[in-house]
Amino acid sequence: MIVTFDVKTGKKLWKTSLIDEPLQELGPNAKGVMRYGPSGVAVWSVPTIDIKRQLLYVTTANQLTEPRVEESDAVVALDLNTGKKQWVKSLVPAAYQQGDIWNSGCESEMMFNESESHCPPVNVKHEGDREIGAPAVLKTLANGEDALLVGTKDGYLYALNPDSEGELLWQLRLGTLDPGRGPIFGGIEHGIAVDDKYAYVPIADISFVQQTSKGSMARVELETGKLVWQKKAASDTCKDKPFGCNNGYMGAPTVVGNILFAGSADGNLRAFDASNGKIVWSYDTVRQYTGVNGLKGSGGAINRNGPTIANGMLYQTSGYGHLAMGMPGNVLLAFEIPEN
């Protein structure tokens, strides 16, 4: 659901439910509890405003219960002034003919000896959860045309045409998935960065069950979808670090000039030469700190929030231990950027 408010008064302007179909009974489970659907299609990221077309682009998550709806794993374009749906572009993986209908409670590793009776009959075992967790990026290309860039947890970067109801311009697989290995927090998780010609794409590819990852960072040409470079993350950065450490890039990166800043779930904040992907600076945030407020804190995984750069400073939070997809921590770090 998307709700808009007047920022001056707090008055609600409009509210739009992303699922139009009425809730229906799906039948009782083995314990006699009624199941309902369709449900899900959560919004994990901030919407994107398109002033030129007066649209709001919303990216959505997978469904939790059937029947399938088009708004799942999709880009939904809403009228900026009324909230009315203008178009929907579904990016559900082609392999999921019945939809990406999945929830973590239906994975055997997370069910704690519970019965599967509460689960959707079409639950995509071990390979679902391919939602869109990152916001769409609206970018004007060098040729003057606009493109809507969308990254999915299925490991794809898409370029869509906002003037043709999300018509596909190109797509590129960047993530590597391992079928049958358990729920995988794969692909593009929380955001990408763009400059005038390229997109910079962090790849997580974390296997929750196996506690392994295949993180990488990539540079992609905006107009063509051509992969310029993709650099695998170092595999030796978790030695002597807490449980949950992995080398996946889950947070949104930030590009400034020819430098790309990105944090990793291994706790390292890195600066890349954007032209070739070479690491030119790195800082391991996994350590103890005494804050400016006198309180003790610790660094951990850099997961959701990307670097913020302003007035010659770089700010980065460190610490994320949700579902063992990283290492806990609780600090905000400030770095001074050299003038040269």
Residue with more model confidence, 152 or 94: 152
Return the pLDDT at 115. 55
Return the pLDDT at 340. 67
Q: Is the peptide bond before 67 cis (omega within 30 degrees of 0)?
A: yes
The 3-class SS string of 124-135 reads CCCCCCCCCCCC
Tens of pLDDT, residues 266-302: 999 999 999 999 999 999 999 999 999 999 999 999 9
C-alpha dist (Å) from residue 107 to 44, 139, 149: 21, 38, 31
- Is the pLDDT score of 31 beyond 90? no
> Rounded distance, CA 175 to CA 284, Å?
25
> Rounded distance, CA 204 to CA 184, Å?
9
Tens of pLDDT, residues 155-196: 999 999 999 999 999 999 999 866 655 556 789 999 999 999
- Which amino acid does the sequence have at 169? L
Task: For residue 184, give the 3-state DSSP assignment.
Answer: strand
Q: Model pTM?
A: 0.93
Average pLDDT over all residues of the chain: 90
C-alpha dist (Å) from residue 76 to 59, 90, 336: 6, 8, 39
Task: Give me the DSSP letters along 72-123.
Answer: TTEEEEEETTT--EEEEEE---TT-TT--B--GGGSGGGSTT--GGGS-TT-
What is the share, in percent, of the chain residues with pLDDT greater than 90? Answer: 75
Give 141's contacts (C-beta < 8 A, 6+ positions apart): 147, 222, 223
Token digits for 142? 């060098």
Residue with more model confidence, 107 or 215: 215
pLDDT-derived band of residue 147, with 50, 70 and 90 as boundaries?
Answer: very high
Residue with more model confidence, 50 or 127: 50
- Is the pLDDT score of 112 beyond 50? no
- Is the pLDDT score of 13 beyond 60? yes
- In terms of DSSP bridges, do strands 288-290 and 296-298 run parallel, antiparallel, or are they unpaired? antiparallel
Neighbours of 34 (CB within 10 A): 9
Residue with more model confidence, 112 or 60: 60
Return the pLDDT at 113. 44
